[in-house]
Amino acid sequence: MWSFETDPEFQAKLDWMKDFVRDEIEPLDWVWPGHGACYDTSLKEAREFIKPLQDEVKKRGLWACHLGPHLGGPGYGQIKLALMNEILGRAFWAPTVFGTAAPDTGNAEILALFGTDEQKASYLQPLMDGDIVSCFSMTEPQAGADPKEFVCKAWREGDEWVIDGYKWFSSNARFAAFLIVMVVTNPEARPHERMSMFIVPRDNPGVKIVRNVQTMGDSKGEDDGTHGYMHYDKVRVPLDAMLGAPGEGFKVAQARLGGGRVHHAMRTVGKCQRALDMMVERAVSRRSQGKLLSEHQFVQGMIADSAIELEQYRLLVMKTAWVIEEVEEGRRPHSESRQLIAMCKVQMAKIYHDIVQRAMQVHGSLGVTLETPIADMWMGLPSLALADGPTEVHKVQVAKGITRGATPAPGLFPTEHIPTRVAEYKARKGLA
């Protein structure tokens, strides 16, 4: 168990990461801005510039730490990943420099778990080397993330599968070398056994981007979005393009989404810490009404609330990381990690909203300009609440998990009904 201490050797790595991310990577967010910049392999100048940075990360054994040594990473457990991701969350380019950019991390994990040797050689290795990026194409325009409502389908014709239908919000599709696509292959099966997962090369005939959808924070330039509205127009792939067995699409998706959710949470800790750092610096630098902002009680309250809430959330994330490791070692049931991951997902957007909003308020007019990272943080908030499933869905999961094992009151009144308890106690003790 993590005992609130980190061994000195790994702490030294974390200390190096903090300086490296602050000094070498955070400025990249300003030099090559834009939500898609770090995924765009055609930006040759940027790619050539970050190559030495990636080489330095690899030299220090910190590249792709979510994967095992046989896949090019050190195979760190979730606790170490949580401590690392706190730091990586501070800069948009940091995951790319450290080989942990989403959705590539999740796609790499399912390729490692379900891919054949040929699939790993063709797709996983270049992905791990940082030479290409990928896309996870699951949600649909009429269904969102509810797989029970998916209609994009595939059927078998001879030695090929034919994929036909539309997908929505396929992040980074325009930059991807390949897409992992979830489609219905057996509409008569039970809801979670209807779908299968396929690897589809981006240049496959029939793979069409209807448009690249823009989100808050993108410019209003034509076709500047990074989330693909996809049309798979009778796309043909060989039989061995399937990941896992027929009908295992939901299983494959869940294998990547749980890890993705908790890694989002880990990085959100870092984002919130950066916003808090900015808030504190502003409070001790700026004067108002004859004294520093940090001497005003309203501002003190904002700082205190932010620090307390962030520490609480960080502890939830760290406990979740520890439980995931326990589950992986077979010491705890899988349901326990699912419940905690859902809790992290629910709380993630709320704490990010509250701390970033306070940082913006303390910065005054400067906080709403594009001259600090705060505005970009704020514009990313709504997407954070929707990524990997809406917050409300995870609240339902948490509530169901809690109530599933609850015991109803045995009688007319609750078990904590004082008159009933007093009467029972007196009868048991022979009191008048």
Block residue for tokens 């007319």 = 412
Alpha helices in 284-405 (DSSP H): 297-328, 334-363, 374-386, 391-404
C-alpha span between 228 and 215 (Å, rounded): 11
Q: Which two tokens stand for residue 191?
A: 């809801």
Angle in degrees, 0-180, between the axes of helices 374-386 and 249-283, rounded to the nearest 10: 150
Which DSSP category does 51 fall into? H
Q: Which two tokens stand for residue 75?
A: 């195979």
Backbone angles phi, psi at 237, to 5 degrees: -135, 155
- Reduced to 3 states (helix: H, G, I; strand: E, B; else coil), residue 208 is strand
pTM given for the model = 0.89
For residue 21, give Cα distances in angstroms to 8, 84, 158, 279, 419: 20, 11, 51, 20, 61
**CB-based contact 339:401 (threshold 8 Å):** yes
- Report the DSSP pairing between strands 153-157 and 160-171: antiparallel
pLDDT of amino acid 2: 60
Say how many Å lie between the first and final Cα of the chain, rounded. 51
C-alpha span between 89 and 271 (Å, rounded): 5
pLDDT of amino acid 259: 64
Q: Which amino acid is it at 45?
A: E
pLDDT of amino acid 399: 95
**What is the number of residues in the chain?**
432
**CB-based contact 206:232 (threshold 8 Å):** yes
pLDDT of amino acid 105: 86
Share of the chain above pLDDT 70, in %: 97
Nearest to 174 by CA among 293, 281, 272, 39: 39
pLDDT of amino acid 72: 66
Nearest to 212 by CA among 231, 199, 195, 197: 231
Domains and CATH numbers, the chain: 8-115 (1.10.540.10), 134-243 (2.40.110.10), 251-404 (1.20.140.10)
- What are the mean pLDDT values of the chain's consecutive 10-residue runs (432 residues total)? 81 97 96 90 94 96 84 82 95 95 88 90 90 95 91 97 97 96 96 94 97 82 83 97 94 73 90 98 97 98 98 96 90 87 93 98 96 93 83 92 93 96 95 84
